[in-house]
């Protein structure tokens, strides 16, 4: 295994670990728990759950490996902050969406070659990529992995024993 293959393997293992931890964590919450704010005046759990799932749905387009399935969730979960008055999908609907998007990503990621991970992602131009090839698909995956970990830290404020 060369260094590039090892880097991809490590990055995918980190992603899989964080997605697994997130799934286990969110599964501990009841539907009513999803309405709790992580801290007074801050995001609710349902918002963070939808935010991550929507971001991961959009990740397919960023990486150039697929299309979003639920673009209508962009506005409530990515474009706007949490709003107590906003109409949200049900927790059951978000759970189904979470599971389907991560199963799809697992399959799509497995289909990418090592070389594919080091290609340009769609959020940058060819000119910018030529200047800085470190801003590649793999760097996006690493960034998204950290994003999941960040929001799991917020959720820990609600139920500290969940992530212990």
SS3 at position 39: coil
Contact present, 48 and 29 (Cβ < 8 Å): no
Total structural domains within the chain: 1
SS3 at position 50: helix
CATH for 89:
1.20.120.450
Q: Cα 72 vs. chain centroid, distance in angstroms? A: 17
Q: pLDDT tens string for the chain (164 positions)?
A: 899 999 999 999 999 999 999 999 999 999 999 999 998 888 999 999 999 999 999 999 999 999 999 999 999 999 999 998 888 999 999 999 999 999 999 999 999 999 999 999 999 999 999 999 999 999 999 999 999 999 999 998 886 555 44
Radius of gyration of the chain (CA): 17
Contact present, 50 and 89 (Cβ < 8 Å): yes
Per-residue tokens: 155: 């959720």
Give pTM, 2 decimals. 0.93
Dist CA 101 CA 28 (whole Å): 19
Range of 66's domain?
3-163
Dist CA 117 CA 133 (whole Å): 11
What pLDDT was estimated at residue 162? 55
């Amino acid at each position: 295994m060369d260094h590039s293959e090892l880097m991809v393997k490590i990055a995918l293992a980190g992603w899989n670990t964080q997605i697994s931890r997130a799934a286990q964590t969110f599964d501990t919450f009841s539907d009513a728990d999803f309405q709790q704010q992580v801290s007074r005046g801050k995001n609710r759990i349902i918002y963070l759950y939808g935010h991550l799932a929507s971001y991961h749905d959009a990740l397919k387009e960023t990486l150039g490996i697929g299309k979003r399935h639920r673009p209508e969730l962009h506005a409530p979960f990515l474009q706007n902050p949490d709003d107590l008055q906003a109409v949200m999908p049900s927790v059951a609907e978000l759970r189904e969406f979470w599971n389907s998007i991560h199963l799809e990503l697992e399959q799509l990621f497995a289909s990418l070659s090592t070389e594919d991970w080091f290609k340009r992602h769609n959020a940058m131009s060819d000119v910018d990529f030529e200047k800085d090839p470190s801003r590649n698909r793999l760097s996006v995956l690493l960034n998204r992995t950290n994003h999941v970990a960040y929001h799991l830290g917020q959720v820990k404020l609600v139920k500290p024993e969940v992530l212990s």
